[in-house]
Structure 1
Amino acid sequence: MIRYLRTFVVAAEAESFSAAGNRLGLTQSAVSTQIRRLEDELGFPLFDRKAKSVTLCNEGRHALEQATQILDLFDGMKQQRGFPDPRGLNIGAISTVQASLLPKALQHFRRAQPAASINIAPGVSTELLAKVDSHELDLAVMLKPRLGLPPDLKWIPLIQERYVGIAPKGTPGDLAEVLRTQPFIRYDRRSPGGQLVDRYLKQHGLATMDTMELDEPSVILNMVSEGLGCSIIPGDLVPVSKVRGIRTLRLPGSPLIREIGILARLEVFDRPSTQTFVDSLTVQAAKIGKRSSRSN
């Protein structure tokens, strides 16, 4: 919220979201998003918005004085000896990364940066992309965006994760037969990973008997192990081989792959904590990649 208050003060001085963005190194859209979220949190508007400019409304003028006082107090606290580094990392991660890559990577990170503060936010890739772009997060471990990235963002690939078909152990037939005869538990089509599965099924003309749609591959895996149906999920970060009662099925055609990596703002790369975190994730991803190569 301190970040939003600082954006508010600059926007009030400039009377323009675009000019405020230039001062802060943000896009106009990011400034507008932060102001809107601050207004939602406070419960009242801060600006009267016009075609090419913005001016403080009555509530905004009162809030500006208080925001300035809060920022002065906060900046004073940062000058005190022993106050924690205010540039702690704000990280986003999709669920499969939080359950696999992240714990081991954080062990290495904590040994190298024991005093660094770190905050981890969950979310799907589309949400995390928006939060990195709006400066709510420094970086996110997520699926590679399909569209081009703004010039102030950088993509670092970590792992190429293969999808696998899964069915209850003992289910006969190849993937096409299993899909025709077993209830299908679908990876949520609102997520980028689920959209990959949907496109694959359509490209190969594979019919399914949809019964459920979930956004957590690990939950889908447990559902299949309980005999509730079959599915297609990413199989490297989700512990497919460790769950009993599962039969894996080869996917026909070219391998179905999703790329997981780090999306980060360029401005955070000069921080030692950022470099250490990226290095820690890269090492852990390489270990998982080697295990996947041996099993294929």
Structure 2
Amino acid sequence: MLNPQWLRSFAMLAQAGSFTAAADELKLTQAAVSQHIRHLEDALGPLLIRRPRALELTPAGKALLEYCAEMERANERLHARLADDGEVGTVGLITPGSIGLFLYPRLLDLQAMTPGLVIRHRFAPDAEVLEAVLHNRFEIGLVMLKPDDPRLTASAFSEEPLELVYPAGERIDSWQDLERMGFMDHPDGKAMASRLLSRHFPGNPGVQTLPCRGFSNQVGLMLEPVARGFGFTVIPRYARQAFANQEAIEVVQCNVPVVDTLWLIHRAEWPLSPRAARVVEYLRRQVKAV
């Protein structure tokens, strides 16, 4: 890589037209500027034709001057990015499906209010969230289990209860009602149902004994068959709140709820960018308002 000071000397020399004028502008000695040009010519070949009253750039010199201009523009872009004011640039957020369904429309609201902000969001399970943040593919993430990796900072973001959701107009008073209705499963369905049903129906024979009426791997679609009367399911509250057809479903009120903590994570070695910090502050207000 070429020495930046040599490049500054060459660019000023091309602009000023003489070694004396260039040295004055750079507040260097003429000998220092000459030495810088000599180093560049040792590396790149002849750059200047020295005439009594003027300097003329060789083809290599013209190419180097264009390179200097490109480096200056790159330097300006770098400083612009580092001078992040929280309103311009891209923010990457990766989350589990349930909370993502709740947050994404609100992120779009923020983007509409801040046209210079670009939101990049991805749904992913905990393991993928951790890996993406650790490898800097996303600046911030949300996970269900607090990580113990020293490279990550984790702070409590929100609490999310599990909910037993069933078709509107049905009744759930006993385990027999669940057997009659049947279970709509999803990738975490049986695990979530086991945790919640053990609280609501102590001593039950287990979710595996219930008839399975269907399966979907998309948490955002899980309440569609429930709303159509095909069975009940157990999902996190944020997924239920994101469902559009609320009048078609009901939620069992559990006296002993199962509540998970969602953890906000980012790399511990450096602070959040101002724009990411702005997104986090905005989202914390959104979840508190629910």
**Counterpart check, 1:286 vs 2:281:** no
Deviations 1:156-189 (A, max 9, x none): 2222122221222222332523212112012313
Aligned residues, how many? 208
Return the offset for 1:149: 1.9
1:79 maps to 74
Return the offset for 1:117: 4.3
Q: TM-score when scaled to structure 2?
A: 0.60
The percentage of counterpart residues that share the same residue type is 16
| Partners of 1:215 and 1:223 in 2: CA distance | 13
2:248 maps to 245
Q: Could you say if the C-alpha distance between residues 118 and 221 of structure 1 is closer, same or farther in structure 2, counting changes exceeding 3 Å?
A: closer
Contact persistence 2:98–2:236 (CA under 8 A): no
Structure showing greater Rg: 2
The residue type paired with residue 156 of structure 2 is P
Higher alpha-carbon deviation: 227-236 or 97-106 = 97-106
1:215 maps to 217
SS at match of 2:177: helix
SS at match of 1:92: strand
| Partners of 1:247 and 1:107 in 2: CA distance | 28
| Unaligned residue ranges in structure 2 (runs of 5+) | 1-66, 83-88
Q: TM-score when scaled to structure 1?
A: 0.59
**Counterpart check, 1:277 vs 2:279:** yes
1:164 maps to 163
Moved over 6 A (4+): none
1:145 maps to 145
2:177 maps to 178
Deviations 1:30-54 (A, max 9, x none): xxxxxxxxxxxxxxxxxxxxxxxxx
Contact persistence 2:183–2:214 (CA under 8 A): yes
| Partners of 1:155 and 1:213 in 2: CA distance | 33
Of 184, 193, 196, which residue of structure 2 is paired with 1:197? Answer: 193
Deviations 1:12-64 (A, max 9, x none): xxxxxxxxxxxxxxxxxxxxxxxxxxxxxxxxxxxxxxxxxxxxxxxxxxxxx
Contact persistence 1:217–1:238 (CA under 8 A): no
Q: Could you say if the C-alpha distance between residues 186 and 268 of structure 1 is closer, same or farther in structure 2, counting changes exceeding 3 Å?
A: farther
Return the offset for 1:214: 2.7
Return the offset for 1:241: 8.4
CA-based RMSD: 3.3
SS at match of 1:260: strand
2:109 maps to 107
Return the offset for 1:284: 0.6
1:188 maps to 187
Q: Could you say if the C-alpha distance between residues 211 and 90 of structure 1 is closer, same or farther in structure 2, counting changes exceeding 3 Å?
A: same
SS at match of 2:271: helix
Contact persistence 1:109–1:276 (CA under 8 A): no
**Counterpart check, 1:120 vs 2:121:** yes
| Unaligned residue ranges in structure 1 (runs of 5+) | 1-71, 289-296
1:54 maps to none
Contact persistence 1:164–1:249 (CA under 8 A): yes
Deviations 1:98-152 (A, max 9, x none): 332233245336646x5344422222222212211233221113x3226x42112
1:40 maps to none
